[in-house]
Structure 1
Amino acid sequence: MTIHELPTRSPVAGLRRRGLSMVEVLAQSVSALAPSAAVVVVPSIVMARSGAATLPVLVAGTALVVLVGWCLTHFARRMAAVGGVYSYTAKGLGPGGALLAGWALVVGYAGIAVSALVGAVAYLASFLRLDAAGWGLGLLAVAVGALAALTTVRGIQLSARVALTLEVASVAVVVAVLVVLLLAHDGGTGTGAVVVDGPVTPGGVATGVVLAVAAFMGFESAATLGVEARRPLVAVPRAVLWTPVAAGVLFVVAGFAQVVLLRAAPVEILTSDVPVARLADAEGLGALSRLLDAGIAASFFACVTGSVNALARVLFSMSREGVLPAPLGRTHRRFATPAVALAVVLPVVVAVPAVALAAGVRVREVLTASLTFSALGYVLAYALAAAAMPLFLRRIGELTRPALVGGAAAATLSAAVLVVALAGTSWSGSGAVVVVFALAWLPGPVLWLVLRRRAPATLARVGVYDQATAGDLLPGQGVRR
């Protein structure tokens, strides 16, 4: 290929290309996953669904996510994309599968951002010892959202560095608190045992696995930085695989600790908005308890920025393909961030929890609903991406037996968990959340059907990724002799 045959402009031009180090790419996955927040929030919610099967459910959820992460590395080693899982799926399942997975991912990122914002408000209020309710919590949500907007618009490097620093510190605090609580544990049993040792049902187990997967949501978001990473084909697959592996070990160990502690605690603590913080307060940990509140609030804030960063980049990618309106593909002149997409999604992410909290809805109710809503989107996207992986490798002539078996297993297990969870959902439980998810996800299939009929050429562009341009080559390169 001669230099004249290369494009003069990348399809994703406008973002700051090749600027992020391996640590900053890893920080994106860590911040979106928010391990310290996940390990103190998700286990108690899983207990309410899975009862005595909580620990096996946490292990199963971890194993499923690691398997999905392994599947995604096969894409990440071969292409640098802004759309992440959305763009990956396009290479295996085509535009239709990509839009189904991509919009599920949009729903997932939006849901987890809402959940993280609510969590940040709850732990920040606990740290400040604010007896706030209603409008007080709503205004606090707006303040946290405004800070997240400033951080994300200024650039991924700033938000990634801040997030990783906060996360390392908060993980250390969480581990210290759980160790102290276990050492003080007297082996007794409290009213929390009614929930922790509760009945096990197939629907409850499947829903628990979906919620366990929620603890890892966002681990794949490093894939949206394929254009901005210095060595994308190395940094992204490492971040996508090793983030859930490391977080999974922490998640299962912390889950075991909470099963022991919450079994011996009053049921009111288990079902509270901040169960681990309540346990720390009950043991009189004082300053360590305050540090826990601050660390978890910081972790949730990092999750807000990480999720919104990934969400904006998926919408940016769809815009550059012509699937969504062109303004969403514009970047900030100074900071080279998808500023228009951020300006569209941030008000929604902030308004939903702010209005709900201001209306008097309990923090735990908003948190559980948004986590479930988000998890449904993620599991659907993961199932489609895993199914796309062997097809992609077959198309490029690199399919191996382990990849075929791994992709089929990840797709089948993800789909099975999703179906059983939906079948076991009751209207009095999460049925309303499922309906809201279905309505929120509907634009994906509708976009596919409309474009298939009216703009097939646009549909054919789905799955754009970064490409070398003439300006990337040094003089004398790219010339066939």
Structure 2
Amino acid sequence: MGKRAGNGGGGGLRAGALGTFDSVVMAIAGCGPAYTVAATIPVLVATVGVASPAVLLYCALPMVGIALAFRHLGRLDVNAGASYAWVARALHPFLGFLSGWALVVAATVFLVSATLPAGSATLALIDPALAGRGGLATVVGAGWFVLMAAVVALGARISPYARRVITGVQLGLLLAFAVAALVRGGGAAEFSFSWFGFGHFDAQHSFVAGALVAGVTYWGWDVASNLNEETRSSRRSFGLGGLIGVVVSFVVFAVFTVAANVLIGADAVRRNPDGFLSELGEAVWPGWGGRLLVLAVVLSTVATLETSLLQAVRTLFAMGRDRTVPSVFGRIHREWRTPAVATGVVAAVALLVVALAATAGSGAQFVRDAVSGIGLHIAFYYALAGLSAVVAYRKVLFRSVGNLVFIGLWPLAGAVFMGWIFVMSLPELTGTAVAIGLGALGLGLVPMFAAWLRDLPYFSPRPLDPAQEAVAGESHGAVRGRRDGVLTDF
């Protein structure tokens, strides 16, 4: 499982471009804490009110199970395709291909949906009156997107320090505001630990409705998995970024949601979902508090554009390397050591859809439906990854309590939860959103069967074997504990 070469020349991806700390930063940035607070938390609060912290908690627990699955699968096979490769080897190549396809589609649609908010937030920093000008916001957002595409094309090493600063500033601003709001208190409600229980759910504010919103709130942490071929000591430390990313994101989301409930109240969030951050900022630090929170949203949105593009491009690169899509996507630029062709294609497709959405009368509604539909894609490939970990390690699950809990039961619970989210989402979504979600997934059957007819090696995978992979990893210098020839540290 050594360094992999891209098809078409140029060698392999740039090994060692990222350290373990960088992978943690990438995972947190992938969750887009400030962007998620601005875009998703208002919907969650409007759906379940003060029970939103409970939904965040009980959705984070199965998500940690999925992160554990990614950690252990990645230690068996270091592959930029992540779930695309692992699901193929553990379950079936058809499911692996559709897993990769689902991620590429979901990330590309997200890139489209995040471009306008990036522009609007940037304009709001200059003059709040400009934020409502959709055409100008689209142009500014597209400018940010092109800049991030250039960063991705030029290589992961181009911006590690800037990425750390961006992520650190947004986390610092969010937590500072949340803590200040909690300390100030005396607002709309008094904090109660019952908000983390099940006592506030009822027919109008059901856990199911909240889980449909929160289930994809944590999406994006797995970008670190797609960068494992470029991460130093990727076998030994693989998956730590994802685990830490989920936990940190939960803390930020939960504390900020509690702060919003305490200081301005769920009703205020429902009345003004688009401007609740500014309202909260003014309530905490009058005069300039709202601007600082908008700054955090700008930084978060820009960083999330980069991480989403990285996920789509690295997955498409792995597919091109296996020739399950045209091999040109697997080519590496000789100087930059990145999949420049795949980056250019994903960026071009996303910008084209942005332009169509900006000019078409119903484009905005189409984008909203498409964003709702990608929740199905996310739940689909997360569920398959969780199940893959259980299947891959099935022969060693009962050798220790740790194996059973951290590789078996917890990932399995995460997979079942994601499957439940997939099924329960269907009646909740609009017909257009379901058609887009399932239709885009079904569209992947065309290239999949075209590749299968060519009898490629991808469709005759070597099963994942923890014992064999542990020995192979040690031959490449990995250092970790073993018992009976299998990995034992978690």
Q: Is TM-score (shorter-chain normalized) higher than 0.5?
A: yes
The Cα shift of 1:17 comes to 1.6
Aligned counterpart, 1:405: 409
Deviation at 1:124, TM superposition (A): 1.2
More moved, 250-259 vs 334-343 = 250-259
Partners of 1:392 and 1:202 lie apart in 2 by 41
Quote the offset at 1:183 in angstroms.
4.8
| Cα 1:249–1:279 shift into 2, 3 Å | closer
Quick one: structure 1 residues 176 and 233, their matched pair in 2 at CA, closer, same or farther if it must change by over 3 Å?
same
On the 8 A contact 2:97/2:448 being kept in 1, the answer is yes
Matched ranges for 1:233-244 at <5 A: 233-244=235-246
In the alignment, which residue of structure 1 is the partner of 2:71? 73
Change (3 A) 1:99 1:188: same
Report the counterpart of residue 488 of structure 2 in structure 1.
none
Kindly provide the CA deviation profile for residues 441-480 of structure 1, in whole angstroms up to 9, marking residues without a partner as x: 223333334444453545236999x999xxx99xxxxxxx
1:47 aligns with 2:45: yes
Q: In 2, distance between residues paired with 1:49 and 1:91?
A: 39
Matched-pair contact (CA < 8 Å) for 1:45–1:368 = no
Query: Helix, strand or coil: the match of 2:108?
Result: helix
Counterpart of 1:389 in structure 2 is 389
1:139 corresponding residue in structure 2 = 139
Work out the CA distance in 2 between the residues paired with 1:206 and 1:352: 32
Alpha-carbon distance in structure 2 between the residues aligned to 1:238 and 1:29: 9
| Cα 1:446/1:131, change in 2 over 3 Å | closer
Matches within 5 A, 1:297-308: 297-308=298-309
> RMSD in angstroms over aligned alpha carbons?
3.4
Cα separation, 2, equivalents of 1:227 and 1:245: 24
SS in 2 for 1:394: coil
Q: Percent identity?
A: 24
d(CA) in 1 for partners of 2:150 and 2:179?
36
Please name the residue that 1:287 is paired with.
288
Contact kept? 2:120, 2:141, Cα under 8 Å: no
Distance in 2 (CA, whole Å) between partners of 1:260 and 1:67 is 31
CA contact under 8 A between 1:152 and 1:305: conserved in structure 2? yes
- 5 Å-filtered alignment, 1:57-72, equals 57-72=55-70
The AA in structure 2 aligned to 1:278 is E
Offset at residue 60 of structure 1 (A): 1.7
How far apart, CA to CA, are the structure 2 residues paired with 1:283 and 1:88?
46
Aligned twin of 1:34? 32
Corresponding residue of 1:479: none
Q: CA deviation at 1:123?
A: 1.6
* CA shift in 2, pair 1:110/1:184, >3 Å: same
Count of residue pairs brought into register by the alignment: 452
> Conserved in 1, the CA contact under 8 Å of 2:46 and 2:270?
no
Do the aligned partners of residues 48 and 114 (structure 1) sit closer, same or farther apart at CA in structure 2, a change above 3 Å counting?
farther
Q: 1:201 to 1:338 in 2, by over 3 A?
A: farther
Taking a change above 3 Å as real, the CA distance of residues 147 and 79 of structure 1, as seen in their structure-2 partners, is same
TM-score, normalization: structure 2?
0.82
- Provide structure 1 residue ranges, at least 5 long, that are not aligned to the other structure: 1-5, 190-196, 474-481
**Structure 1 length-normalised TM:** 0.83
Q: Structure 1 residues 106 and 203, CA, compared in 2 at 3 Å: closer, same or farther?
A: farther
SS at match of 1:77: helix
Q: Does 1:414 align with 2:415?
A: no
Contact 1:51 1:200 in 2 (8 A): no
Give the whole-Å Cα distance in 1 for the aligned partners of 2:50 and 2:203: 10
Which residues in structure 2 correspond to 1:71-220 (within 5 Å)?
71-129=69-127, 130-184=130-184, 186-188=186-188, 200-201=202-203, 205-220=207-222
Show CA shifts across 1:312-341 (max 9, x none).
000000001010001111122221111101
Q: CA deviation at 1:132?
A: 4.1
Q: How far off its partner does 1:23 sit?
A: 1.9
Which residue identity is paired with 1:247? Answer: S
Distance apart, 1:200 and its partner CA: 4.6
Question: Which residue pairs with 1:424 in the alignment?
Answer: 428
1:216-295 mapped onto 2 (5 Å cutoff): 216-263=218-265, 266=268, 269-272=271-274, 274-281=275-282, 285-295=286-296
- Offset at 1:185? 5.0
Letter in 1 for 2:208: A
AA matched with 2:156: I
What SS does the corresponding residue of 2:40 show, helix, strand or coil? helix
Q: Please report how far the alpha carbon of residue 276 of structure 1 lies from its aligned counterpart in structure 2 after TM superposition.
A: 0.8
Greater relative contact order structure (CA < 8 Å, 6+ sep): 1
Report the Cα offset of residue 343 of structure 1. 0.3
Tell me if the contact between 2:27 and 2:223 (Cα under 8 Å) persists in the aligned partners: yes
Amino acid at match of 1:187: G
Distance 2:162 2:417 in 1: 35
Moved more, 388-397 or 227-236: 388-397
- What is the Cα deviation at residue 133 of structure 1? 1.7
Residues in 2 aligned to 1:131 and 1:449: alpha-carbon distance in whole angstroms: 45
After TM superposition, list the pairs within 5 Å mapping 1:413-452 onto structure 2: 413-425=417-429, 427=430, 431-452=431-452
Structure 1 pair 140–463 and aligned structure 2 pair: CA distance change class (3 A): farther
Structure 1 counterpart of 2:377:
377
1:32–1:219 CA contact under 8 A, matched in 2: yes
Distance 1:275 1:203, change over 3 A: closer
Indicate how the Cα distance of structure 1 residues 360 and 201 shifts in structure 2: closer, same or farther if over 3 A, else same.
farther
Superposition deviation, residue 115 in structure 1: 3.4
CA contact (8 A) 2:370 2:437 kept: no
CA change 1:439–1:385 in 2 (3 A) is same
Give the 3 Å change call, closer, same or farther, for CA 366–40 of structure 1 in structure 2: farther
User: C-alpha offsets along residues 169-191 of structure 1, whole Å, 9 cap, x if unaligned?
Assistant: 111112223334445554348xx
| Matched letter for residue 87 of structure 1 | A
Tell me the secondary structure at the aligned position of residue 178 of structure 2: helix
Structure 2 runs not aligned, ≥5 long: 190-198, 478-490
1:296 corresponding residue in structure 2: 297
* Contact in 2 for aligned 1:331/1:337 (Cα 8 Å): yes
Of 23, 26, 34, the residue aligned with 1:25 is 23
How far residue 433 of structure 1 moved from its aligned partner, in angstroms, is: 1.8
CA distance 1:271–1:200, change in 2 (3 Å):
farther
Identify if the C-alpha distance between structure 1 residues 407 and 86 changes in structure 2 by more than 3 Å, giving closer, same or farther: same
Deviations 1:324-378 (A, max 9, x none): 0011111222211111011011122234345435557798x78864553333211
Are the structure 2 counterparts of residues 133 and 341 from structure 1 closer, same or farther at C-alpha, using a change threshold of 3 Å? same
Name the counterpart of 1:312.
313
Query: 2: distance between equivalents of 1:243 and 1:85?
Result: 18
